[in-house]
Amino acid sequence: MAAGAVLAHFDVAQIAIYVFWGFFAALIWYLRREDHREGYPLVADYTGQAILDYPQMPSPKQFLLADGVVRESPRYEAPETFAAVQTLPWAGAPFEPTGNPMIDAVGPASYAKRHDVPELAYDDGLPKIVPLRSATDFFLSSEDPDPRGFDVLGADGRVAATVVDAWIDRSEYIVRYLEVETTAELGARRVLLPMHYVTFRPKQRLIKVHAVHAVHFADAPGLRDPDTITSREEDRIVGYYAGGLMYATPARSEPLL
């Protein structure tokens, strides 16, 4: 038999494409099972029963985190309740807040309940986001305005607070939050203001925050430790200001037309 005669009876290209299709189908099956590790099983709003999804849930897998903690996924998490009711009696109907949605984490103010511990830097294992008063080896660039001492205006144009410090990300070398002290009228407390809600007016030594009004700074989430921030506190703070974009005034929650 001549060399290669066996392959003369087979279409090698067709076999190759069939093998590829089989591999690709197995890959999709694997990925669809793996993406069930978070957020599953889905639960129906009214019955409270799990919605069968295809393929089935994967077997539990353990993950060793950098801090030595072992997490298992998928894992059972108790259903959450929140201060809102559905406006119409069928699945998918919009929810109407029953309290203060910015505090109750409703809609855009919602947040993931991440671990209530500070996120650590990879190189030294210390808290990644800290105030400048603690990170003595960092400083603000002279090319940028130093916000400390600037007044903070709410969307209503009223002075709500004064900037007292900046919180930096030691891993990314950027300012994440501004620490502000509210006016005596609002309780004279210190809260954090995420940088992506800030508009600088350096010539007037002002900072404008469009997301919330001045009065809302009185209820902004605080910190358990004045010199560190946990992952859950970060999500809660950012969620509070995000909620203001929809709930700070009644008009913002209404349709444009």
Whichever domain contains 138, its CATH number is: 3.90.50.10
Note whether 134 and 54 are same-domain residues. no
pLDDT band at 7 (very low <50, low <70, confident <90, very high): low
Dump pLDDT digits (tens) for 140-168.
998 889 999 999 999 999 999 999 999 99
Q: Among the ranges 46-55, 64-73, 89-98, 238-247, which has the highest mean pLDDT value? A: 238-247
Q: Is the pLDDT reported for residue 45 higher than 80?
A: no
pLDDT band at 230 (very low <50, low <70, confident <90, very high): very high
Number of domains, the chain: 2
Least confident of 66-75, 126-135, 157-166: 66-75
Q: Is the pLDDT reported for residue 56 higher than 90?
A: no
Least confident of 3-12, 14-23, 48-57: 3-12
d(CA 130, CA 122): 15
Q: Considering the domain boundaries, does residue 97 fall inside one?
A: no
Q: How many CA atoms lie within 13 A of 145 on its CB side?
A: 16
Please report the pLDDT score of residue 6 as a whole number: 60
Domain boundary among 32, 58, 84: 58
Note whether 245 and 148 are same-domain residues. yes
Q: Is the pLDDT reported for residue 9 higher than 90?
A: no
Least confident of 79-83, 151-155, 200-204: 79-83
Q: Is the pLDDT reported for residue 219 higher than 90?
A: yes
Q: Considering the domain boundaries, does residue 27 fall inside one?
A: yes
d(CA 97, CA 49): 24
Q: In the predicted model, what is the mean pLDDT of residues 230-252?
A: 94
- What is the domain extent for residue 17? 1-58
Note whether 241 and 171 are same-domain residues. yes
Scan for tokens 């007016």, then name that residue: 201
Burial of 215 (C-beta count, 10 Å sphere; 0-12/13-18/19+): middle
Residue type for 47, please?
T
Q: Are β-strands 206-208 and 151-153 bridged in parallel, bridged antiparallel, or unpaired? A: parallel
Please state, as a whole number, how many other Cβ atoms lie within 10 Å of the Cβ of residue 246.
18
Tokens for 236, please give them: 């809660």
Least confident of 38-52, 156-170, 242-256: 38-52
